[in-house]
Structure 1
Amino acid sequence: MTEIRVSVCMATYNGERFLAPQVESILAELEPQDELVVVDDASTDGTTRVLERFNDPRIHVHAHAENRGYVRTFEEAMGRATGDVVMLSDQDDVWIPGRRALFVSALQDSAVAASNLVLLGSDDPLPNPLTRRPWRLRAAWSRQGVRNALRILAGMAPYYGCAMAVRRDAIERVLPFPAYLDESHDLWLALFGNAHGTMRHIETATIRRRIHDTNASPSRPRGITQVLRARVMLLRAWISARRR
């Protein structure tokens, strides 16, 4: 049986403070044939030095001279990936052991997979930003494409890029990201998977998410203008995903 090769794609920007524990948790999961593709978005701190200190041949770092934003940085990282399974990762969380195996298994019959998360330090479920109740994906929702799209548009589907992966044969369809997409690359991937009936939800938590003052994903509700703009963008993304 041919061995599965996994690529982990990470976008970094001024992540020196929390990067080392995250990379350690990733490398502990990866096999010798796997890779960690890091695209650094013009960090001004010691982010790249942290990566260099690992001196691990599985880590491939590509540094930008100018800041392009996290959406385009993740897009580049995914485009550089060479593995059969492409997993996304933030720079400041911690992987839970077993994550690689769960995603490799889930993507045997699906193009996109997403798992649940817990909070680093407490292992409590991720809270819904509106109700503060536990916010989880359900395995039974996996093939509910239209319903999941409606959940996304309503802001009620906890898809996070740090807990997502894409199978190799779908990469050329999800890339490039739509030109108008300037946030929520994770929801673009989720919309694509749901639009084509090839989404898989993993109920097990595979990430311990670190909440701090510089998270790219907001942990509190946004203003009405921002919400409406985001919903219009996601509606466009749903239409685009159905055409891919």
Structure 2
Amino acid sequence: MPVSVCMATYNGAAYVEHQLRSILAELHPDDEVVIVDDASSDDTVTLIEAIGDERIRVIRQIVNRGYVRTFEAALSQAKGEVVMLADQDDEWIPGRRDVLQEAASASGVAASNLVMLDSGEPLRSPITGRPWRLEPSTSGHRLRNELRILAGVTPYFGCAMAVRRDVLPQILPFPPFLTESHDLWIATLANRLGIMRHVAGPTVRRRIHESNASSSRPRAITQALQARGMLVRAYVEAGRRSR
């Protein structure tokens, strides 16, 4: 079953080649990597094209649209039966492709755990300080999972997610009010539909640096409340799309 890996890039020259080589080592000959570049001003696209792998397809955006709309554009171009999201600066763990492909094919949407690249330790919650982990036993806890999303204590990261192709029409287009957290939109919809599968093991090593799109640091109260309000709207929208 062919897989599409969707990546949004922006000024990612420092790490994108390393990430792509870890991805390509996992992929099958009929898989693809769809990269939408968000008007980078550095050598990101040049480095990607220099890899010279026919499975890579690069789409350049002339105007910077932000990572949410850039991921949306990448997902809309995917051709595979299972679509996996990938950030530009991480590293795939061997076995990721097949583990997430199997889980997403069976359920609809799959989300795995992740570890930090430098230490191999789980990412810790910015709220509790405890390791963030998804448990397979809670995959079907639809309301509980959504409440944990709203509380900010569930580690749904796009870089550790996969989606079966027939779910994309409900995911896309992203809601117009969505200005961040496209991964939490996908997780919200999956939990609302009852098609989420939690994968116990980590499938990605996450690189933490100053330019991460999603921060592991606590937010200011105003920002946190605004984000929660947007997620409530996402839950309502997910309900509308699940009818």
Question: TM-score range with shorter-chain normalisation?
Answer: over 0.9
Deviation at 1:47, TM superposition (A): 0.1
Give the aligned residue type for 2:109: V
C-alpha displacement of 1:19: 0.7
Q: Secondary structure at the match of 1:173?
A: helix
* Aligned counterpart, 1:43: 40
Q: Which amino acid aligns with 1:117?
A: L
Measure, in 1, the Cα distance between the counterparts of 2:48 and 2:127: 36
Report deviation, 1:228. 0.5
**Aligned equivalent of 1:218:** 215
Aligned residue type for 1:182: T
CA drift of 1:131 comes to 2.2
Q: How many residues align?
A: 241
Q: Which residue of 1 aligns with 2:178?
A: 181
Matched with 2:152 is 155
> Quick check: 1:100 aligned with 2:97?
yes
| Between 163-172 and 126-135, the greater mean CA deviation after superposition | 126-135
Q: How does 1:177-216 map to 2 (within 5 A)?
A: 177-216=174-213
How far apart are 1:240 and its partner, in Å?
A: 0.5
1:105-184 paired onto structure 2 within 5 Å: 105-184=102-181
- For 1:182 and 1:207, the matched residues in 2 are separated by 24
| 1:122 CA displacement | 1.1
Report the Cα offset of residue 130 of structure 1. 1.8
Matched, 1:231 2:228: yes
Q: From 1, 18, 21, give the equivalent of 2:15.
A: 18
Can you give the 5+ residue segments of structure 1 that lack an aligned partner in the other structure?
Answer: none
Deviation at 1:204, TM superposition (A): 0.4
- Aligned equivalents of 2:230 and 2:130: distance in 1? 27
User: What runs of 5+ residues in structure 2 fail to find an aligned partner?
Assistant: none
Q: Provide the residue aligned with 2:60 in structure 1.
A: 63
Q: Report percent identity of matched pairs.
A: 59
Q: Distance in 1 between matches of 2:100 and 2:132?
A: 20
Partner in structure 1 of residue 75 of structure 2: 78
SS at match of 1:108: helix
CA-based RMSD of the aligned residues comes to 0.6
Measured in 2, the distance between the counterparts of 1:54 and 1:13 equals: 17
Question: What CA deviation, in whole Å up to 9, does each residue of 1:92-151 have, x standing for no partner?
Answer: 000000001101110232111100000002101111112222111111110111110000
**Moved >3 Å (runs of 4+):** none
Paired AA for residue 35 in structure 1: E
